[in-house]
A and B are shown apart, each in its own frame.
Chain A
């Protein structure tokens, strides 16, 4: 079995596009709304989730034959909680400002539906390498959406990107104003809706059928 077979590539790539956990499966929306008012926390959050999903997938995949079926959720939660705690401590140690901005949402990665979904649906049935690829793919798919939303919200809401001023001062002198609604959560939902709208109009297969 080769490392980058066609199937493995697919496992890695579909969560980035056609099976994106946020825009197609509509999972993990709450944190996507909460941490995207600036680009930086969105990036950090996306990376944290990627690392946690990938590692949790590997660990669960290694244990999958020994976990008794009745208590599998508990085992999964213990693994995820451990990883979340480690990531949270690392953030506090090396990126304190961002961890303050992310506040409870790092801890709440435990309850992120993407994690449990991947562990249940993928890692319990597949080997560690495939699970790793799947975890990285799902995490990056999540991060991708977060970064897009965060990009627009920070650009239009604060006129900055990663805290660097992007919209020049002279624009403000000519009467340009930051859009206050962009910083509020409703606008995150609307940007997310636009992404979903765009993606589904590009790929008609994704559109839900009216029954």
Chain B
């Protein structure tokens, strides 16, 4: 640590005004503040600050994503060996998944950070830390067979059009990772849905199985199956109990399958106070109530899914914990958070039930509510002002 600090102090002058690499000062500044908490403080005005700045907060979110990421890697390997009917050791399974997922993480960070650095450099601004989290979220919400180049295109699109044009980190209206996914979903539906994309079938760097696929193989996600049939099976056609759904060894987007891994992340986020428990709780409340309501109607297969399966399957948990609680795109007012969360849960289940073509109700629900976040805030702030004015005028 000490050596790193000394090195940074040594090279710092060449990035300052008049130095050799002055043009790259924002890149240097970005790295320095990422590694060490900056020692500068605000000089004027009153500032009430938490002891952690946003780079530290972002790092904690990335740490909270680790359980889901590691489990996702294992699950990718597990599904691969499962559909080939081959037994593999834990490490072989995990390492296969690691090799399948790692390129996606690299591509997502390279493209996203590349654009952020370029824009910051170009506008002469400091590099913002927003992409640290988005870059980790993006690989977790795509299918494992999503080609790298379309991931790069989608990431570039989302960073430019959902973030930089609005003014960069902290000004975006939409969750950047979800815009990436929405872009992929509408632009390349063949690579984002269906039965072929959820399980990696080829060998990677000589690792993996060469055997033929087992009989009864189905690559569809459980939620995809729920559209047309009453029984939900895993990748080789065996039935699934609610416990299997919680553990999450079934085909799906890389990070979204395991409720346990996501719950670990949620505990980290709530314990450190980075995510709002109000939003999380109300998303689940909205989802459960709506699912029960549709159970009572029961007009199609998805409506008949019990509420537990609605919550456990698909991106519901992942969205509720990591996406809906994004502090930039959710309301700031405390009451607003309840309404925001509740409507996300409600719309997610409504989309799933009423349009079975879009099992990704969660993505659409969060993006839609992102639009209304500012409006919800506005209403509560105005109501508050009005209430206090009345008190004064009395």
Alpha-carbon gap, A197 to B161, bound state (A): 12
Q: B191 — nearest CB in chain A belongs to which residue?
A: A177
Alpha-carbon gap, A197 to B166, bound state (A): 13
- Binding-face segment, A39-47, A112-120, A179-187: A179-187
Q: Does A204 sit at the interface, judged by CB under 8 A?
A: no
* Cβ-defined contact, A175 with B187, below 8 A: no
* Cβ-defined contact, B147 with A179, below 8 A: no
B contact patch SS: helix
Which chain B residues numbered 172 to 195 have a C-beta less than 8 Å away from chain A? 183, 186-191
Alpha-carbon gap, A180 to B183, bound state (A): 9
Q: Does A190 sit at the interface, judged by CB under 8 A?
A: yes
* Cβ-defined contact, B190 with A177, below 8 A: yes
Q: Does B375 sit at the interface, judged by CB under 8 A?
A: no
Q: A190 — nearest CB in chain B belongs to which residue?
A: B161
Alpha-carbon gap, A31 to B191, bound state (A): 31
Name the one of A175, A177, A181, A197 contacting B186, with C-beta atoms under 8 angstroms. A181
Alpha-carbon gap, A175 to B187, bound state (A): 14
Write the nearest CB–CB distance from B186 to chain A, whole angstroms. Answer: 5
Interface core residue of B147, B150, B187, B191 (most chain A CB under 10 Å): B187
User: Which residues of chain A are near B188, meaning CB under 8 Å?
Assistant: 177, 179-180
A contact patch SS: helix
Q: A176 — nearest CB in chain B belongs to which residue?
A: B149
Per-position binary interface string of chain A over residues 188-208, scored 1 when its CB falls under 8 Å from any chain B CB and 0 otherwise? 001000000100000000000
* Cβ-defined contact, B161 with A179, below 8 A: no
* Cβ-defined contact, A180 with B161, below 8 A: no
- A residues contacting the other copy or chain, number (CB 8 A): 9
Alpha-carbon gap, A179 to B183, bound state (A): 10
Which chain B residues numbered 237 to 288 have a C-beta less than 8 Å away from chain A? none
Q: A194 — nearest CB in chain B belongs to which residue?
A: B161
* Cβ-defined contact, A182 with B187, below 8 A: yes
Q: A180 — nearest CB in chain B belongs to which residue?
A: B187
* Cβ-defined contact, A175 with B147, below 8 A: yes
Q: B149 — nearest CB in chain A belongs to which residue?
A: A175
User: Which residues of chain A are near B161, meaning CB under 8 Å?
Assistant: 190
Alpha-carbon gap, A181 to B186, bound state (A): 5
Write the nearest CB–CB distance from A25 to chain B, whole angstroms. Answer: 22
Write the nearest CB–CB distance from A174 to chain B, whole angstroms. Answer: 10
Alpha-carbon gap, A182 to B190, bound state (A): 15
Name the one of B186, B190, B191 contacting A184, with C-beta atoms under 8 angstroms. B186
Which chain B residues numbered 144 to 178 have a C-beta less than 8 Å away from chain A? 147, 149-150, 153, 161, 165
User: Which residues of chain A are near B149, meaning CB under 8 Å?
Assistant: 175
User: Which residues of chain B are near A181, meaning CB under 8 Å?
Assistant: 183, 186-187
Write the nearest CB–CB distance from A159 to chain B, whole angstroms. Answer: 13
Q: Which 10 A-B pairs have the closest CB atoms?
A: A181-B187, A179-B187, A181-B186, A180-B187, A177-B188, A175-B147, A180-B189, A180-B186, A181-B183, A180-B188
Interface residues of B (CB under 8 A from A): 147, 149-150, 153, 161, 165, 183, 186-191
